[in-house]
Structure 1
Amino acid sequence: MRSDGLTACVFSGGASERMGRDKALLSHPSGGLWLPTLVDHLRALQLPVLVVSRHQSHQALLHGRPQVQVMLESPPWQGPLRALERVLAVDSGYPLLVAPVDMPLLTPAVLQQLIDDWQTDPQRVAVADDGERLQPLLGIYPSGAPFQPLLRQQLQQDDRRWLRWLDRIPHQTVRLPAAALRNVNAPADLAALEA
């Protein structure tokens, strides 16, 4: 484990309703599949990786990879902020680099840039910015107070809006290349990516 205690957390548990098939199992532009490619990018940065998923197939797909753990989410599945609440530690000192499986153009260099910027002020969230909007599912989230208590409080009010929580916690934005943050959610997005 890295000396800064950083762990990567990949969110790969969505229903992929807009895509119509499991995005984690789509063919990656560099070969392989989306989920193992992202996991290997994170492992290349010497990060232990936790994959949060509802899909048993993801556990089988990643079986045998060192420093990789799959946490199978039990229902009810209520989106990524609820998933984060399940893994974000109550105690401080356990920051998570959170990444979604549906940003297939992320590279180790871009992920390292996010880490480098976060390390300048590790008491704040570092959230990716593509130049037009924040991409809160790609960021580094410290644990403990005030992050975890405010997250739990918001979810107790049945408010699962990530940006609402982000507005309440100390954070900085990290400008990253927009192309690398391309979110691929639907068949049209996939066709554009493949073109």
Structure 2
Amino acid sequence: MNAKEHITGIILAGGKSKRMGRDKALVPYKGKMFLEHVIDALKPLVNDMLIVSDHSEYDRFGILRTEDLIKNAGPLAGLYSGLYHSKTENNLVVSCDVPLMNTSLLQQLMDENEPSLDMVQFQSGDKTMPLIALYKKRILPSCWELLESGERRLRTFVDTLQTKTIVLDKEVEHHAVNINTEQDLNELKNEFDH
């Protein structure tokens, strides 16, 4: 069931990065860009990968890039675009701004996957993380319906799905931290670059 040829890795990199002031996916950290860290975390688990982004500079990573099918509609549209182009039922979806993400954490999502579930996501503290999750392609029609109705909030969509949530242990929570601002980046470097 969880053989890697049955899983696609979808990296969401379509955000505006307003709070960072520069393209988050291309921010360097420990000798690699954020996007490369996410690619490395996904690679052992998936057969196919795609990046959802309108930015052609991501083509240098040698991974299929697909543009947002619905422009300026946020992560929900990014998820829709990624699932639309995926050829597999199971999809590991990760945003580009989690440079500490690792393979073993993503493996947990797959280990908890069951046929009855539409998605498996993490929770850190009291916050769920629908941008680091396993999604089934079968949710595509209901995702489209919500977008058509003008809804843009990913969490609103997640509330309609059969979901399993894995609460992260305190000692691994930092792997799922998303880096949105220069301050976040400085804190990351201070904490983990010793």
Amino acid at match of 2:132: L
CA drift at 1:33: 1.1
CA drift at 1:38: 1.1
Amino acid at match of 2:101: L
Q: Does 1:138 align with 2:132?
A: yes
CA drift at 1:154: 1.1
Distance 1:192 1:51 in 2: 27
| TM-score normalised according to structure 2 size | 0.86
CA drift at 1:76: 2.3
The count of corresponding residues between Structure 1 and Structure 2 is: 185
Aligned match for 2:186, one of 182, 185, 191: 191
Q: Percent identity?
A: 29
Matches within 5 A, 1:140-155: 140-144=134-138, 147-155=139-147
Whose helix proportion is higher, 1 or 2?
2
Distance 1:48 1:101 in 2: 17
Is the alpha carbon distance of 1:162 and 1:19 closer, same or farther for their aligned partners in structure 2, counting shifts above 3 Å?
same
CA drift at 1:86: 2.0
Judge conservation of contact 2:8–2:88 (CA < 8 Å) in 1. no
Judge conservation of contact 2:5–2:46 (CA < 8 Å) in 1. no
Q: Does 1:169 align with 2:161?
A: yes
**Cα deviations across residues 32-54 of structure 1 (Å, max 9, x unaligned)?**
11112211221122432111111
Is the alpha carbon distance of 1:171 and 1:5 closer, same or farther for their aligned partners in structure 2, counting shifts above 3 Å?
same
Query: After the TM superposition, which parts of structure 1 deviate over 6 Å for at least 4 consecutive aligned residues?
Result: none
Judge conservation of contact 1:56–1:72 (CA < 8 Å) in 2. no
Is the alpha carbon distance of 1:167 and 1:22 closer, same or farther for their aligned partners in structure 2, counting shifts above 3 Å?
same
Judge conservation of contact 1:54–1:74 (CA < 8 Å) in 2. no
**Cα deviations across residues 96-136 of structure 1 (Å, max 9, x unaligned)?**
11000111110111111221122xx1331101111321011
**Cα deviations across residues 13-62 of structure 1 (Å, max 9, x unaligned)?**
11111000111111123x211112211221122432111111111112x0
* Unaligned runs of at least 5 residues, structure 2: none
* Unaligned runs of at least 5 residues, structure 1: none
